[in-house]
Amino acid sequence: MLRSYWVLVVMDQFTRRIIGLGVHCDAVDGPNLCRMFNAAIRGRGAPRHLSTDHDPLFEAHRWQANLRVLEIDEIKTVAHVPLSHPFVERLIGTTRREFLDHVLFWNRRDLERKLADFQAYYNAARIHASLAGNTPLGVAVGSTVACADLNDVRWASHCRGLVQLPVAA
């Protein structure tokens, strides 16, 4: 029996750094979207601006109220243009290809733990050609990294960023 898990990705567009990930099982509505977003930014501070697409979830009253309370300006992408969020689209594809296609997870907590490990790897050790061979964390702190030592990171064991993941329950 498969269950669906939804993952909300929040990323810094300038540095390509994953800010956080929110996970929810079953259908996502306005309150659940708010919980996922708040979990993704917990301990990191609220962004000043947030770019979202025209998904009806981002039109929900609770979502709009959450952004007002957090004092976040929402910027909508161009309607009917699926490539309006190229960086987060690339991040979603990378996460699927390099991580989720190779890792089994059993429940929400296990998925959250493994995604946190991938987030640490992605931000600190994975170099990006679009960042001139730097890591997102290196760009964020202003330093450059010649190459990443993958042995130091243990990850093997948009808000368009909603991704449905079917897994065995």
**pLDDT, tens digit, 9 for 90 and up, residues 31-43:** 999 999 999 999 8
Q: What is the mean pLDDT of residues 151-167?
A: 40
User: Tens digit of pLDDT for each residue in 111-131?
Assistant: 999 999 999 988 888 877 777
Which pLDDT score, from 0 to 100, does residue 4 have?
Answer: 83
CA 71 to chain centre: 20
Distance CA 162, CA 37 (A): 11
CA 24 to chain centre: 13
Which pLDDT score, from 0 to 100, does residue 157 have?
Answer: 28
Pair of tokens at residue 82: 């699926």
Judged against a pLDDT cut of 90, whether residue 136 lies above it is answered with: no
Judged against a pLDDT cut of 50, whether residue 147 lies above it is answered with: no
Entry pTM? 0.76
User: Tens digit of pLDDT for each residue in 45-88?
Assistant: 888 999 888 889 999 999 999 999 999 999 888 887 777 788 88
- The rounded percent of the chain whose pLDDT value lies above 90 is 35
CATH, range 2-168 = 3.30.420.10
Task: Please list, in sequence order, all residues whose beta carbon lies within 8 angstroms of the beta carbon of residue 58, skipping any fewer than 6 positions away.
Answer: 33, 52, 74, 159
User: Tens digit of pLDDT for each residue in 4-21?
Assistant: 899 999 988 888 889 999
Pair of tokens at residue 12: 């810094």
Distance CA 1, CA 42 (A): 32
Distance CA 120, CA 147 (A): 16
Judged against a pLDDT cut of 60, whether residue 164 lies above it is answered with: no
Sole residue written with tokens 């993941």: 165
Pair of tokens at residue 113: 């733990």
